[in-house]
Amino acid sequence: MKLWSANVGQPVGMCPVRGVLDKISDKWSMLLVMTLATGPKRFNQLRRDVPDISQKMLTQTLRDLQRDGMVSRQVFDTKPPSVEYRLTPLGESIILPFGHLIAWANEHLPTIDQARTEFDKAA
Amino acid sequence: MKLWSANVGQPVGMCPVRGVLDKISDKWSMLLVMTLATGPKRFNQLRRDVPDISQKMLTQTLRDLQRDGMVSRQVFDTKPPSVEYRLTPLGESIILPFGHLIAWANEHLPTIDQARTEFDKAA
DNA sequence: CAGGATCCAATAAGATACTG
DNA sequence: CAGTATCTTATTGGATCCTG
């Protein structure tokens, strides 16, 4: 489980995996992926499903996901226009590993909350 | 796999799991956890193992991890003083799920790189 | 409906200097 | 060695207005 693999010490992109992990650790990326995991959705549908994302961030994050090949974008030539976003096979392949992390978070949430309270109490 | 669970719509802390996931998705948190996964380490040892972290961020991230109960801190009363950080059982419990994500990243790195190149070429 | 463009505030984080 | 404190910059992200 090497995080640095070959090239160590360079300021950016030292470890290729970290470039991917940075996306995963993006505030909105994975939330959108998990939202799209239930099926394809349109732009404003996604806004409703993730109430606290701004339009700017939704646009930007969707484009990034598209660039990474995680999400595909299909335009329907209706009026008003409608655009559908859906996970690609690559996007779908991350659902399971990320689901494990969510499960972990759910499971240990009480423990963490308790640890925080105690730590803050001590200070 | 509910990301929003009970309370939807509030600006912060809508979903308790997201509070935990935000920590996971911190730029340095998980990198430090995975570094500590190989065994307990001292402060400056961690600096060397994660070359591009600043001293400020190392201190801050370690404290956050400690607060969350992921890492324990033990001071040895030597001179000069030495402080050892190690994963708690809680911290160790996240190694596996996070390892799955790293494995995913490693596996799909070429695909993602290719998608990016193609996307940028098209634009 | 699905964005693009712009402006501005908040936050994160690097650099630097100092301490028990 | 293992930090603390402060300053400053870079980045993020929200609010707002506009368009095919």
Protein-contacted positions of strand D (CB under 7 Å): 1-6, 12-17, 20
Kindly state whether residue B4 falls inside one of the protein's structural domains. Answer: no
Tell whether B1 is covered by a domain. no
**Does B19 have pLDDT greater than 90?**
no
Asked whether the beta carbons of B63 and B1 are under 8 A apart, the reply is: no
> Nearest nucleotide, C1' to the C-alpha of A75?
C2
By DSSP bridging, strand B71-76 and strand B41-42 are unpaired
Q: Is residue A36 part of a domain?
A: yes
Is A41 inside any structural domain? yes
Structural domain range at position A40: 16-122
In a domain, B113, yes or no: yes
Write out chain B in H/E/C secondary structure.
CCCCCCCCCCCCCCCHHHHHHHHHCCCCHHHHHHHHCCCCEEHHHHHHHCCCCCHHHHHHHHHHHHHCCCEEEEEECCCCCEEEEEECHHHHHCHHHHHHHHHHHHHHHHHHHHHHHHHHHHC
Stretch B43-51: mean pLDDT = 93
- Residues of chain A numbered 80-109 and touching chain B (CB < 8 Å): 90, 93-94, 97-106, 108-109
Band (A17; pLDDT cuts 50, 70, 90): confident
Band the pLDDT of A14: cuts 50, 70, 90: low
pLDDT in tens, A21-80: 888 888 899 999 999 999 999 999 999 999 889 999 999 999 999 999 999 999 999 989
Indicate if the pLDDT at residue B5 is higher than 50.
no
- Residue B3 is assigned to a structural domain of this protein: no
pTM: 0.88
Decide if A3 is inside a domain.
no
With H, G, I as helix, E, B as strand and everything else as coil, classify residue A82: strand
Does residue B86 fall inside a structural domain?
yes
Closest residue on chain B to A5 (Cα): B106
pLDDT, tens digit, 9 for 90 and up, residues B61-119: 999 999 999 999 999 999 899 999 999 999 999 999 989 988 999 899 999 999 999 99
Tell me the percentage of chain B whose pLDDT exceeds 90.
Answer: 64
Residue to test with chain B: of A2, A3, A32, A113, most B Cβ within 10 A: A3
Overall domain count for chain B: 1
What CATH number is associated with residue B74? 1.10.10.10
